[in-house]
Amino acid sequence: MTTRQLGAPIRRREDPRLLTGNGRYLDDLGAGALHAAFVRSTSAHARIVDIDITDAWEVEGVEAIYTYEDLEGPMAQPLPVLIPHPALTHARTGYALVNGEVNHVGEPVVMVVARDRYLAEDAAARIRVDYEALPVVVGVEAARSASVLVHDDAPGNVAAHLVQEVGDVEAALAAAPHTLTIPLTIERSACMPMEGKGVLARWDRDEQSMRMWSSTQTSTGVRAAVAARLELPLARIHCIAPDVGGGFGVKIVHPWAEELLVPWAARALGRDVKWTEDRREHFISSAHERAQLQEVTVGFDDDGVVLGLDVKVWHDNGAYTPYGIIVPIITSTQLLGPYKPGAYRCEFWSLYTNTVIVTPYRGAGRPQGVFAMERTMDAIAAHLGKDRADVREANFILPEEMPYDHGLMFQDGRPLKYDSGDFPASLAKLKALVGWDDFTAYRKQAEAAGRKVGLGIGCYVEGTGVGPYEAGHVQVETSGRVNVATGLTTQGQGHETAFAQIVADELGVRIEDVHVTTGDTRRMGYAVGTFASRAAVMSGNAIAFAAKAVREKALRIAADALEANPDDLEIEDGVISVKGAPGTSISLSSVAVLSNPLRYAFDEAAKAATQFAGTFDPDKPPVADGEEPGLEGKGVYSPTQATFANGMHAAIVETDPVTAEITILRYCVIHDCGVMINPLIVEGQVHGGVAQGVGGALYERMAYDESGQLLNASFMDFLMPYASEVPHVETDHLETPSPLNPLGIKGAGEAGCIPVSAVIASAIEDAEGFPILSMPISPSELWELRRQHATKGQS
């Protein structure tokens, strides 16, 4: 009896390939391709007066140099606003190559194509661009004050303004026994996948067709966008996401300028063209996230129960809004976490600045929202002198209140309605794991030794698995090999393993026989992409449906062959047999042969499917009515709403009494993503998320100067945590199945990073005894806060 694969912590099937140098990442492909390099704007806000490329042509090996003036038709149009929204009244996007005005440092101005990247960069270095400087807007405060505009026709620097309100907030606040107003700040960080973006394009002159590879989170999206801009029939272009070295959100944005220019140049030159982003390019011309100013006003009763919550968010969206206002919408809705907010109003302004665009980075607005809510919970507890966990518990949505409808619209345009979750159980587990009730004694001990320690907590709910849909295809070859395809892409989540586990169970085959392909439009043309912790939920269920369809078909054919009732059959390890009569059986590979009636025999197995083989009933058509040839099936999963995962984290930190150095002593996670397909993979996702959260809480920030230059655009200066900075993460899981999908799963990809800034702020505040209102926080900032509070205490 085969053991059930779903839920088993099996080792990843992609690993042996990736561990032995046999991965195929974008830059590993296209030997012999021409290489592109870009001249990027050195000014944050300016008009281009002149571009002088004369000297660049003197570099041997240069094949082409392009500026905006070389672009025609759709290629010359602004890049698309991918996610329009009625509140996004002043959407602005850049061009594939700058058309006159630059709005941040790093915009592509000139494209050079040469024999290799060294030569392309030699040539790019010889191109002179003259700028007429314009005043620059950096930071949310400057954007909000609007004394300078990023786009002349976007008044107040406002791209979007959205208010969502449930209940009468004014009245609730006025009636509340206690009110607090809390100003909060979060700075910029970025996804920073270890592999940057990259594009390779191959134009087939004979077929007049394009094949392209992109290090993307959506190959179907890139394909459609490139087809539109290059005016190619969709049938003449395919896009493949090869092995992708991490994404974390930045690679869902598309089409990047380079994703259009590289195939466009490949067609123009009739040569393979490749561009591989370098690290500096990734810093200054991809995307960032997180920066917001917030103001929370909360009204609550003597028990800490929130009666009214009024939140204002000023969101820095950078120079353009190609990905719409997804991030601030998520902040304003997911802020609510596991709590009932009473009357709630959230108002946000999405503001332009002359900096790199802001698009979703793992968590996608949730870390900021959770920061606002959890800082508020701690403030309530401090105000009332209550235990911080008790205040949270007093505001929880209870399991019996599920499904719980907040009455708001979520990022997918659908109701913010939680499907399941057991928040009191999660909190109980967290308190047990971290030793919540023993901390007072621990603190006393530490204080006696001259040490400062603090305990922090943070809770979140995460909408995962948003629609609109994903599709899966399962096909059994006559060899017994099972090919599985889904259109969304993979950038480290182990889809080759997790999806194979699902198919092994649903179809009844050995996992070794299952081969999964993701992100290849040749195999699956319909897909949305990998973002919003949606791959397992969306493609997992779609593939399960496809496998079920194949199973049913196999049983129909086998029932015919075995002269049995399909209901009496079972499939195990790729063999269909009559239940209770294991001798009466047929292999799935034989069924695959029978499923495709043949005229021509190319091998012994095929001979059994030919017209004179005598295996068919002469009174029936070779392919039965309503059937299709081949043992394959398709499934689509398209849910009415997102499924909501949740988690709670706690940390113990130590702050050095002299240097204000901050050390995380313990980090504990309770995580509930419903049914886990592979606990090993889920655990890994949580670890990685926490590490990114720690980076965002203590180390990472984008340091722009007032002229819009990013001062720390390298790994030397942007402090991504090493193993020495990331704590050991202690985890425990709850599995509250989602009632929304047959597998009962919820997404897990983003979870780990969501509450970390809130948790660390909570712990530092607990250690120091004064509020922490801005993250990330460095030792020197903490030291300065100590000084300010000491001065305040004296005055």
Partner 1 sequence: MTTTSFSSTGAEPFAADASIEPLLSISLRVNGAQHSAMAPARRLLSDFLRGELGLTGTHVGCEHGVCGACTVLFDGEPVRSCLMFAVSAQGHDVTTVEGLGNDPSHLSPVQQAFAECHALQCGFCTPGFLTTITAFLEQHPDPTPDEARECVSGNLCRCTGYQNIVKAVLRAAELRREAGAGEAWAAGASEAAKATRAAEEGTR
Q: Which of residues 575-614 bind partner 1 (CB under 8 A)?
A: none
What residues numbered 645-684 form the site for partner 1, per CB under 8 A?
Answer: 680-681, 683-684
User: Would you say 38 or 66 has its CB closer to partner 1?
Assistant: 66
CB 482 → partner 1: shortest distance, Å?
A: 19
Nearest by Cα to 284 from 28, 515, 484, 103: 103
Question: Cβ atoms within 10 A of the Cβ of 1, count?
Answer: 5
Tokens of 676: 């886990």
Count the alpha carbons within 13 Å of 261 in the hemisphere toward its beta carbon.
30
Comparison of 78 and 246: residue with beta carbon closer to partner 1? 246
Location of structure tokens 């992609």: 14
Min dist. Cβ of residue 33 to partner 1 (A): 8
Burial 12-33 (b: 16+ CB within 10 A, else e): bbbeeeeeeeeeebbbebbeeb
Distance CA 662, CA 763 (A): 10
Which range binds partner 1 by CB under 8 A, 191-199, 316-324, 468-476, 506-514?
191-199
Residue 62 tokens read as: 């240069």
Residue range at the interface with partner 1 (CB under 8 A); choices 57-65, 133-141, 538-546, 772-780 = 57-65
Shortest separation between residue 636's beta carbon and partner 1, angstroms: 28
- CB neighbour class for 219 (10 Å; exposed up to 12, middle 13-18, buried from 19): buried
Judged by CB under 8 A, which of 690, 710, 751, 777 binds partner 1? 690
Q: Is the Cβ of residue 10 or residue 182 nearer to partner 1 in the bound state?
A: 10
Q: Which stretch binds partner 1 (CB under 8 A): 157-165, 411-419, 486-494, 607-615?
A: 486-494
The region of 55-63, 320-328, 638-646, 758-766 touching partner 1 under the rule CB under 8 A is 55-63
Q: Site for partner 1 (CB under 8 A): how many residues?
A: 75
Check residue 200 for interaction with partner 1 (CB under 8 A).
Answer: no
Query: What is the x/- site pattern for partner 1, positions 112-151, by CB under 8 A?
Result: ---xx-xx--------------------------------
Which helix or strand (DSSP H or E) is residue 445 part of? helix 439-448
Q: Which of residues 13-52 bind partner 1 (CB under 8 A)?
A: 14-25, 27-28, 31-32, 51
Which of 420, 416, 419 lies closest to 166 in space, CA to CA?
A: 416
Is 636 one of the binding residues for partner 1 (CB under 8 A)?
A: no
Decide if 131 contacts 47 (C-beta within 8 A).
yes
* φ and ψ of 705, to 5 deg: -90, 180
Q: Closest separation between CB of residue 279 and partner 1, Å?
A: 4
Q: Is 299 or 693 the residue whose CB approaches partner 1 more closely?
A: 693
Applying CB under 8 A, which part among 66-74, 228-236, 648-656, 658-666 lies near partner 1? Answer: 66-74
CB of 491 to partner 1, least distance (A): 6
Does position 217 bind partner 1 by CB under 8 A?
Answer: no
Torsion angle in degrees (nearest 10) through CA of 675, 681, 687, 689 = -80
Measured from the CB atom, is 401 or 661 closer to partner 1?
A: 661
Site for partner 1 in 505-524 (CB under 8 A): none
Minimal distance, residue 117 CB to partner 1, in Å:
8
CA angle, residues 94, 97, 101, in degrees to nearest 5: 60
What are the b/e assignments for 686-700, b being 16+ CB within 10 Å?
Answer: bbbbbbbbbbbbbbb
Nearer to partner 1, 325 or 729 (CB): 729
- Check whether the bond before 255 is cis (ω within 30° of 0): yes
- Contacts of residue 581, defined as CB under 8 A and 6 or more positions apart, other chains included, come to none
Of 251-290, binders to partner 1 (CB under 8 A) are 268-269, 278-279
Strands 514-518 and 569-572: unpaired
Q: In the set 722, 791, 792, 794, which binds partner 1 (CB under 8 A)?
A: 722
Residue (198 or 472) nearer to partner 1, CB: 198
Whole-number minimum distance, CB 571 to partner 1, in Å?
28
Q: How far is the CB of 453 from partner 1 (least distance, A)?
A: 21
Site for partner 1 in 727-786 (CB under 8 A): 728-729, 752
Instruction: Find the shortest distance in angstroms from Cβ 640 to partner 1.
Output: 31
The first and second tokens of residue 235, run together, are: 């049938």
Indicate which single residue of 492, 744, 755, 776 sits in contact with partner 1 (rule: CB under 8 A).
492
Instruction: Name 511's Cβ contacts closer than 8 Å, sequence gap at least 6.
Output: 5, 10, 13, 500, 501, 504
